[in-house]
A = this chain, B = another copy of it.
Amino acid sequence: MIGAHLRLPVGSVDLTSHDTRATPGFDGGKSEGKEALTDLDSTLSDLQERLFAEGQRGGSRAVLLVLQGMDTSGKGGVVRHTVGLVDPQGVDITAFKAPTEEERGHDFLWRIRKALPTPGRIGVFDRSHYEDVLIAKVRDLADADEIERRYEAINEFEADVVASGTHILKCMLHVSPDAQKERLLERLERPDKHWKFNPGDIDERQVWPAYREAYEVALERTNTEIAPWHVVPADRKWYRNLAIGLLLRDTLAQMRPTWPDADFDVEEQRARLTDEAPVA
């Protein structure tokens, strides 16, 4: 279980003590890691299809994968390479940007609630309600009391979500400033990557310690038993993709989704087909 290696212990958080280049719980290197991800495909697909089937036949369970991390930490890469392994029909991906005017007129959880996965589905949040205690804190988009209130509001919200049958898997993609620099320079180097670059990314980078602190507080305050955090070393892309794949597999496997029983008489339906008059 990769979770044993990545699950954040309860208590105060020091991100500098988490090695961004480590590969906890996996012995191999890059090629073995990529192969292990490919090998996950059928298991993940099978589990996802069972969950989907369950949702189609009255089940209420779902999965929510929350991806947080600094720019270039690879949230998009995880969606493409890991989430992309399963049937896209069963997945809902929401990329949260700066809130719109309408969204700002509501509580910060309003737009989040609307994006929750429906039964049988895997919801993926590329950024999430955590931005409201991360950039909101670093950039003073809300005052200190409001930020303080939000940690509790998030815990209550997530408790409700879990109680409704949705398993929450929270992952912080932990990238180093050096790896980020390299990736930002690559985006500048390659014309096919220019569209991914925003000068604002460098502005945020320049307050890295403030973000680290905001992450540390947010992780500590919202690292609950029902929705714990995982810190995923993200300097090695292959490990990051594999680790999330394994966490997702373990989450689904733990749910033990089973094929729903037929709600019709199989023999009767078979007879309708085998005894039918020619149809065309």
Contact = CB atoms under 8 A, between A and B. Distances in A.
Interface of A: 53, 56-57, 76, 79-80, 83-84, 87-89, 91, 93, 95, 126, 176-177, 181, 184-185, 188, 191-192, 194-199, 202, 205-206, 208-209, 212, 259-262, 264, 266, 269-270, 272-274, 276, 279-280
15 contacts: A76-B89, A79-B87, A79-B89, A89-B93, A89-B95, A177-B279, A194-B260, A194-B262, A199-B264, A202-B276, A205-B276, A206-B279, A208-B279, A209-B279, A209-B280
A84 B91 CA distance: 11
A194 B266 contact: yes
A208 B280 CA distance: 6
A192 B272 contact: no
Contact of A276 (B206, B212, B259): B206
A271 B266 CA distance: 69
Contacts of A89: 76, 79-80, 93, 95, 126
Contacts of A84: 84, 87-88
A269 to B, nearest CB: 6
Contacts of A83: 88
A83 B86 CA distance: 11
Contact of A259 (B185, B192, B273): B192
Contacts of A273: 181, 184-185, 188, 202
Contacts of A181: 273, 279
Q: Which of A91, A184, A195 has the most CB of B within 10 A?
A: A195
Contacts of A269: 188, 197, 199, 202
Contacts of A184: 273
Contacts of A95: 89
Nearest to A54: B195
Nearest to A270: B188
Contacts of A262: 191, 194, 197
Contacts of A208: 279-280
Contacts of A202: 269, 272-273, 276
